[in-house]
Amino acid sequence: MAEITYLEAIREALFEEMERDGNVFCMGEDIGAYGGAFKVTEGLMAKYGEQRVIDTPISEAGFVGAAAGASHMGMRPVVEMQFIDFISCAYDMLTNYIATARYRAFLPCPLVVRGPSGGYVRGGPFHSQNPEAAFLHTPGLKIVYPATASDAKGLLKAAIRDDDPVLFFEHKYLYRRIKEEMPQGDHVVPIGKARIAREGTDVSIITYAATVWKALEAAEQLQKEDGLSVEVLDLRTLLPMDDEAIVATVKKTNRVLIVHEDTRTGGVAGEITARINEHAFEWLDAPILRVTAADVPLPFAPPLEDYVLPQVADIVSVARRLAAY
């Protein structure tokens, strides 16, 4: 089997799921004949027609709401945000209507909202966002943010089959930069299970999405230069969070660094820290540290963006302090 990119893996998942289940259909801006801003849905309309691959008006609240209605009736809509930054336009629909539907009205909402997320691409404040923390606080949603091509495919297939609404964040920096051979057959990765991306015994780095690769690079450098054994835990799913895997790595290394690309205040790292505090406080040999973006809107000029976002050198330097504590 040939290697395919992260982006192609997502496309493959869409083709396979549309083929498998006639209730699956796609909606979004420019996803049909054009194939989407990043070409994720290229070829879908040619194969499945404009009934199942719907080009929508520019109206995120409108078509996310429509996805909810269709999902109540047994359809399985997969909605694309042209850039995930625009998901805020559908925030009301997602948090007030969709997230509460099963609880308050016993209405199933099996839908997926997916889209290109994240920075390191000089996209500026409205084409680089990581909105996961804004939704982590909403019971009723699930949040997935894969770091590898095979996870992107397997988790998207799981998200489409899930009976609950799933926000599926795709890191656009990874779209065409990583390649992998897909596992054979019907490759489905369960939602809610983290993955150890690298085994280690001295320090744990807990992260997800593009910073998994930064953490792996840092781990390699720390091994070579300091002889430190760094474990990297890729969360894959943020909601529900894999507490078991988090506690296991804390118990193994007793030192925790959390890395995420999103801004610091109110970010996912704070939640992970609280959970470790509740479940494994006495296993810690050092305070939990964070490497995150600075608390600013993301600027686009290369020197500014590089300064704001977490870099390998930041992870190396903070991990060294942690190991020496």
Partner 1 sequence: MATRTVSRAPSRPSDALTLEKKVELYYWMRLTRSLEERLVNLYRQTKVVGGLFRSLGQEADAVGSAFALDRAAGDILSPLIRNLGSMLVQGAQPLEIIRQYMAKGDSPTRGRELNIHFGDTVRGFVGQISHLGDMVPVMAGVTLSFKLRGEKRVGLVYVGDGATSTGAFHEGINFAAVQRCPLVVIVENNGYAYSTPNTKQSAVKEFKDKALAYGIPGIRADGNDVLATYDVTREAVDRARRGEGVTLIELMTYRRKGHAEHDNQSYVPAGEIDKWETQNDPIDRYARVLVEELQVDRKELEAIDARVSTEIDAATDLAEQSPAAEPTDALVGVYAQPPAVQPLWYRAGVRSAVEKHERAAGWGTYNG
Comparing CB distances to partner 1, the nearer of 54 and 194 is: 54
- Asked if 305 is part of the footprint of partner 1 (rule: CB under 8 A), the reply reads no
Output the CA torsion sign for 247, 249, 255, 258.
Answer: negative
- The 167-206 contact track toward partner 1, x by CB under 8 A, reads ----------------------------------------
Measured distance CA(215)–CA(232) in Å, rounded: 7
Q: Is 127 designated active site?
A: yes
- Asked if 97 is part of the footprint of partner 1 (rule: CB under 8 A), the reply reads yes
- Asked if 64 is part of the footprint of partner 1 (rule: CB under 8 A), the reply reads yes
- Asked if 34 is part of the footprint of partner 1 (rule: CB under 8 A), the reply reads no
State which of residues 80, 162, 231, 242 lies at the interface with partner 1 (CB under 8 A): 162
Beta bridge pairs of residue 4 = 180
**Angle at which helices 6-20 and 44-52 cross, to 10°:** 50
Q: Dihedral (C-alpha) 84, 85, 86, 87: value to the nearest 10 degrees? A: 60
- Asked if 271 is part of the footprint of partner 1 (rule: CB under 8 A), the reply reads no
Strand spans (E) along the chain: 3-5, 24-28, 53-55, 76-80, 112-117, 142-144, 166-171, 179-181, 195-198, 203-207, 230-234, 237-239, 256-263, 289-293
> Residue 308 Cβ, how far from partner 1 at the closest point, in Å?
31
Task: Please report, as residue ranges, which positions from 218 to 257 form the binding site for partner 1 (by CB under 8 A).
Answer: 240, 254
State which of residues 30, 86, 150, 164 lies at the interface with partner 1 (CB under 8 A): 164
Comparing CB distances to partner 1, the nearer of 2 and 73 is: 73
Residues that bind partner 1 (CB under 8 A): 25, 51-52, 54, 56-57, 59, 61-75, 77, 92-93, 96-97, 100, 102-108, 139-140, 142, 162-164, 240, 254, 282-283, 285
Residues forming the active site:
127
